[in-house]
Amino acid sequence: MKTLNALSATILSVMSISVVQARITVSPFYFNASKTTANFTVSPKSWSDPKWQGFGVALSAGWGIVHAKKGQTITLAMQSATSGIHPAASVWHRGKNDPEKDNIVADVAFTQMATMSSWASLMDCVVPLPLCPVDLVMQYVVHGYDADNNPVKKTLFKGLKDGVSGRLTLNFKAAYSGVYMVAVGGYNPAPFINNRKQYLIKTSVKVK
């Protein structure tokens, strides 16, 4: 059964489809023209933690919201303040098929390279008040991690090199107008890093 579950998880990741149910609330930084930089405090393995079967840990990562118009280019620039911390990030689009609040994400664990969704159910309505959940769909856009001086080479995770360890830049063109959600965390820290501590990753956003 464990083998089948692992195989199923792999297939879903490759297909960029992940259906999850346990929604949680995060505290995203809202980037805009006057607030272009955030200082995220994250765990060293928050983007991919072996203890979580390689998934990201939502409450240990940094979250951001970026607004863009279709056709604009969004550039994410991340820099770790500590040697040995490798930044990593994933981006999702939250469009018309996602009426859920922007500060609510699909699950405690997130899939770095897949669309994440949580469907509303009448069984979850609060009685007697007519309070029912709405659909949540985080449509995958792009992901990657800092591969400079990083011994782990995981093709699906998209290691990126720019010659500087601890620095990562992601660029993408907005396919839709609206909200883009960013998760920033650490991936495969150096052996001397204390995994029980949190570390600063400075993240800047440009939209043109």
- 146, 158 Cβ separation under 8 angstroms: no
- Over the stretch 150-173, which tens digit does the pLDDT of each residue have? 998 888 999 999 999 999 999 999
CA distances from 152 to 146, 176, 184, 190 (A): 10, 33, 18, 11
- Over the stretch 39-78, which tens digit does the pLDDT of each residue have? 999 999 999 999 999 999 999 999 999 999 999 999 999 9
- 104, 82 Cβ separation under 8 angstroms: no
Tokens at 48, concatenated: 């991919």
CA dihedral 30, 148, 57, 52 (to 10 degrees): 170
Per-residue confidence (pLDDT) for residue 154, from 0 to 100: 85
128 preceded by a cis bond (ω within 30 of 0): yes
Residue 175 DSSP class: S
- Over the stretch 82-112, which tens digit does the pLDDT of each residue have? 999 999 999 999 999 898 999 999 889 999 9
Does residue 13 register a pLDDT over 80? no
Range of the domain at 43: 2-207
Q: Can you give the CATH number for the domain in which 202 is found?
A: 2.60.120.1220
Structurally, how many domains does the chain consist of?
Answer: 1
What pTM was computed for the model? 0.85
